[in-house]
Amino acid sequence: MTPPTVNAEYNPQRNDVNFPAGILQPPLFDATSDAAPNYGDTGGTIGHELTHGFDDEGRQFDAQGNLRDWWTAADGKEFQERAKCISDQYSQYVIIDDIRINGKLTLGEDVADLGGLLLAYRAWKEDTKGQKLELIDGLTPEQRFFIGYGQSWCSSTRDEAKRLRAMVDPHSPDNYRASGVVTNMLEFQEAFHCKIGAPMAPANRCRVW
């Protein structure tokens, strides 16, 4: 990747995370903003790449980048059961017409999205511990965290591209990368006072980590 590229990656064979300068610019990261949306946006991306080291593919490589199953059998089985919850969830989402997400194809990215935002939320809470966080524009800090995350997936995609990506792209469509993740976070439901049973507050949430 070149420096101005707006992207990030985890390389399991090198066990490293790479962030070009392009993704560390507004509107994705804004040094003049308060911490909440920056953690929700860029923090979520950093957490996403870190979590790739422990998703369905990354976990098969050890710390030296060798293809080796270093997990215990019990941990591997538990991971597969929890990950299946996410795969089943995303497989219900309609991309366009009657085309649904292939939850097995997108599993690694979906797991990393959820794990990454959970890491970002914990990191933000730790970073701002003891601080008095104020309302801004009528929004609580927690609400601004999740709005920052949601804004990171604002996009416009042609229908033709949606159909193509449904077949080949290991990433879920951007709108589901936002809503699918926060649906599984109690922290989101508490921030926006969602009642259990509401569309984005299911009684049963998926959780890998």
Beta carbons of 142 and 122 less than 8 angstroms apart: no
Strand 9-11 versus strand 99-100 pairing type = unpaired
Taking the mean position of all CA atoms in its chain, how far away is CA 204? Answer: 19
**Selected catalytic residue, list 49, 56, 110, 142:** 49
Active site (annotated) includes residue 57: no
Cα–Cα distance for residue pair 57/69, rounded to 1 Å: 10
**Selected catalytic residue, list 41, 56, 109, 113:** 113
Taking the mean position of all CA atoms in its chain, how far away is CA 86? Answer: 12
Active site (annotated) includes residue 113: yes
What three-state secondary structure class fits 11? strand
Q: What is the DSSP string of 68-119?
A: ---S-HHHHHHHHHHHHHHHHHHTT-EEETTEE--TTTSHHHHHHHHHHHHH
Residues with a catalytic annotation lie at 49, 113
